[in-house]
Amino acid sequence: MKKSRAVIVLILAILAIAGMGYIAWFGIGAGKTGAATNIKQGLDLAGGVSITYQVVGEEDPSNEDMADTIYKLQRRVEGYSTEAQVYKEGNDRINIEIPGVSDANQILSDLGRPGSLYFIRQNGSDGNPNYNLGVTEEGSIDYMLTKSIEEIMGDGGIVLDGTHVASAQATSTQSQSGTKDQQYVVSLAFDDVGTKAFADATTSAYQNGETIGIYYDGAFVSVPTVNEPITGGQAQISGMENFEEAERLASTIRIGGLKLELEELRSNVVGAQLGSDAIRTSLMAGAIGFGIVCLIMIVVYLLPGFVSAIALVIYVLLTLLTLNALNITLTLPGIAGVILAIGMAVDANVIIYARIREELATGKTLQSSIKIGFDKAMSAILDGNITTLIAAAVLGLRGSGSVKGFATTLAMGIVLSMFTALVISRLLINACYAIGLRNEKLYGVAKEMKPIKFLSKKPLFFAISIIMILLGFVFMGVNKSQTGNILNFSLEFMGGTSTTVEFNEDMSIEKIEADVVPIVEGITKDSNVQTQKVNDSNQVIIKTRTLTVDEREQFVTAMKDKFGVEESSITAETISATVSNEMRRDAVLAVIIATLCMLVYIWFRFTDIRFAASAVLALLHDVLVVLAFYALSKTSVGNTFIACMLTIVGYSINSTIVIFDRIRENLRGSRGKDLEELVDSSITSTLTRSIYSNLTTFVMVLVLYILGVSSIRDFAAPLMVGIAAGAYSSVCVTGALGYVMRTKIGGTQEVATAGVSASSGKKAASSKKSSETESKKADSSESAANKSSNAGGSKKKDTSHYQSTPRKKSKKK
């Protein structure tokens, strides 16, 4: 890089920081577009809308029907926010809480009346139409029923109802007219009963040139024509003008597939669950933690550390702008997750700068060391981040609720982290070199470390791990005998009691936290108490674990004595878990699939299943150690538990990849070398990275724990344990597991027979560059062969279309 170009790069970096900082702080225009204050916030930070529905026509609906309805409503309201909550209240009511919105009427209008969706034949058995075009009360022309639903149902005119729709998704496809225009459609899938009924109905409708209308909440939402008999259980509705129209129709069909019909009982706009002090301390923790991390990087890595601090500033600003652009709902644990991501973003910089120092120690020039350092760090950074990105993608596709929200934030953090480390940091460090900062003392030189014999102590390390994990199961058993649950499950997992109290004054959140919450905690002997204000009233909703009769009496007495509240102003209802069994199932299934996908990727990249198996076992080790901490400390297990465990999974696999990448590199051209010595050398050479990466992340979380509120501490404490467990397992357990598998499963202690020379299995090249070139050529040839094979053998899948005829609506004159 020329000096003039380097100056331009540095000036642009300063301008970028200033520009993004201005936008993040002040925003653009009157609406303050891009400002951090416009980031969509969750119920805990900004409040939202609370809507209560009651089941129509059934006094005591079954638990199965209620659970199915809650789960489908949860998936429906995720369109507003992944942090939306849906739970059972009493026996026949369902409560929906959607953060970040303040217009309850708009939400009610969008949701409609859940349930009651029908696919209706155009004509009845007597040949008379079931619906016709007519003039609505608003004066527009639209399709209207000519008979009552009951009459149509009795005549067999209902093809099927919404409960037989397995899925409804909006999507876009290429127009079949030969142009490049996009066509917006809704893809439907039916269950077995729906498939047969729809096949019969579309066959008849196609022969007679009839339509099949979709009727919901007292009106037709679409009246598609039938282009052909649809017998495969899948159909498409076309004719939408844009994606938003397709998404609205898909959402309507999904919510119309409820087993129960609901009607609105009440709706409220509720305030934030947490006061301004909680937000302020969390942000302060982030600022302090960020400053400490930057200081550590500068002290340890000197000029490169300063460059990484600048890259981290850019990373934080990009994160704020991306949260805004993607309309991601940010909760307090979400803030903690973003702050944690800052610590994790340091990892890539640590790997790079440690590599540069190693190259300088071998006598290479500074310029050459910078280039080689970035090149050699590339594989570890890419493999580690792609593995975690695979997990994020699976969690986003298969998970629901907070799991989906976590996956979005995680994927965003990974992409931005890689960009700032591999692009921004590289540009800045090269610019610093180009303007004359070429003294090696500014970069530091790695000191040669004698290999530490980690593997000789593997029996001790294995014993420690087994004892920690077994202690966890022991304490789970103790907890089970004492409380009936292996862990201290919170409201989100167990449900509880929701008590609405109308005070004699409009109490602030801070006053509620200071005066009311301690009294409730004293009664319940549990710190897991959630509060919400109902806007424009003196009502406060207090959620606790399930209260006994005695505890409810104590609660009423305390409210009367301390605050002068009338007993008639206190109402209590039993509420279900906000994390339903279906959501738990989705989360567990998503984690299993993500783990399998990571295993396959590691197997593919390292060409050895034993690498992948070792990585998964190390991941399992860290998760079980954290579970042991939850059992021992009786830390509350809520929504933050899911985020915590998923964070540990991603962090653990990333640390493991770094160790394996160095082992893979050292295996190249090491024929005949003792495998134990090679593994020890690999772990020792990455020890600096392991220490500083884990230290910076640990510091970020420690500051959160010290300054955060109780809900943040419940997130930070087990996370610190997970980081410590990950550091221990990556250094002491992972390499040892890989070694044992290589020597005990089809191998010996020599590298030549232990499973690798180069990643392609061919003779090792004289340098890493030529080896990588050969590998890329091989990959390219293999890819070309695959493409050729696929081109000759693949067959395009046929998809039937249930096409909607666009209709124009006009006002009556």
- How many beta carbons lie within 10 A of that of residue 483, not counting itself? 12
* Among the listed residues 187, 189, 185, the one whose alpha carbon sits nearest the alpha carbon of residue 164: 189
- How many beta carbons lie within 10 A of that of residue 324, not counting itself? 22
pLDDT of residue 780: 43
pLDDT of residue 400: 64
**For residues 661 and 555, what is the distance between their CA atoms, to the nearest angstrom?**
58
- Model pTM greater than 0.75? no
The pLDDT tens digits of the residues spanning 521-532 come to 889 887 778 888
Rounded average pLDDT over 239-256: 82
* Among the listed residues 373, 552, 386, 550, the one whose alpha carbon sits nearest the alpha carbon of residue 445: 373
The pLDDT tens digits of the residues spanning 704-738 come to 888 877 777 887 899 899 999 988 998 999 889 88
The pLDDT tens digits of the residues spanning 161-206 come to 888 888 888 888 766 555 556 788 899 999 889 999 999 999 999 9
Rounded average pLDDT over 603-615: 83
Which of the given ranges, 87-91, 188-192, 786-790, has the highest pLDDT on average? 188-192
pLDDT of residue 474: 95
The pLDDT tens digits of the residues spanning 308-331 come to 999 999 998 998 898 888 877 777
* Among the listed residues 745, 775, 726, the one whose alpha carbon sits nearest the alpha carbon of residue 608: 745
Question: Can you say whether residue 228 is alpha, beta or left, with left for phi > 0 and alpha for psi between -120 and 50 degrees?
Answer: beta
Segment holding 270, helix H or strand E = strand 262-270
pLDDT of residue 176: 57
Question: Can you say whether residue 133 is alpha, beta or left, with left for phi > 0 and alpha for psi between -120 and 50 degrees?
Answer: beta
**For residues 392 and 404, what is the distance between their CA atoms, to the nearest angstrom?**
9
Read off the amino acid at residue 550.
Answer: D
Rounded average pLDDT over 469-488: 91
pLDDT of residue 340: 63
- Give residue 282's pLDDT band: very low, low, confident or very high (50, 70, 90): confident
The more confidently predicted of residues 726 and 808 is 726
Cβ(388)–Cβ(414) under 8 Å? Answer: yes
Cβ(402)–Cβ(83) under 8 Å? Answer: yes
pLDDT of residue 278: 66
The more confidently predicted of residues 283 and 11 is 11
Structure tokens at 729: 């397992």
The least confident of 129-138, 258-267, 615-624, 686-695 is 258-267
Q: What is the mean pLDDT of the chain?
A: 80
**For residues 39 and 775, what is the distance between their CA atoms, to the nearest angstrom?**
44
Alpha-carbon radius of gyration of the chain: 30
Rounded average pLDDT over 125-135: 88
On the question of pLDDT at 519 being above 70, the answer is yes
Tokens 């005990």 belong to which residue? 744
On the question of pLDDT at 786 being above 60, the answer is no
Rounded average pLDDT over 638-663: 79
- Give residue 792's pLDDT band: very low, low, confident or very high (50, 70, 90): very low
The more confidently predicted of residues 33 and 126 is 126
pLDDT of residue 791: 36
**For residues 362 and 230, what is the distance between their CA atoms, to the nearest angstrom?**
69
- Give residue 496's pLDDT band: very low, low, confident or very high (50, 70, 90): confident
* Among the listed residues 682, 675, 624, the one whose alpha carbon sits nearest the alpha carbon of residue 658: 682
Q: Cα torsion for 660, 663, 668, 670, to the nearest 10°?
A: -160
Structure tokens at 252: 């309507």
User: Distance of alpha carbon 290 from its chain centroid, rounded?
Assistant: 23
What is the three-class DSSP state of 599?
helix
Total count of residues recorded for the chain: 813
Rounded average pLDDT over 689-697: 86
What is the three-class DSSP state of 545?
coil
On the question of pLDDT at 800 being above 60, the answer is no
Phi, psi of 132 (to 5 degrees): -145, 165
pLDDT of residue 41: 76
Cβ(515)–Cβ(550) under 8 Å? Answer: no
Read off the amino acid at residue 750.
Answer: E
Sheet-wide strand order for 165-174: 165-174, 182-190, 234-240
The pLDDT tens digits of the residues spanning 613-639 come to 888 888 889 999 999 999 999 888 876
Rounded average pLDDT over 362-389: 88
pLDDT of residue 201: 92
Rounded average pLDDT over 433-438: 91
Rounded average pLDDT over 497-512: 87
**End-to-end alpha-carbon separation of the chain, Å?**
72
Structure tokens at 168: 């409804």
Which of the given ranges, 364-378, 576-590, 700-714, 741-755, has the highest pLDDT on average? 364-378
**How many CA atoms lie less than 13 Å away from 786 in the CB half-sphere?**
6
Which of the given ranges, 175-179, 476-480, 483-487, 664-668, has the highest pLDDT on average? 476-480
The pLDDT tens digits of the residues spanning 732-756 come to 998 898 888 888 775 555 554 444 4
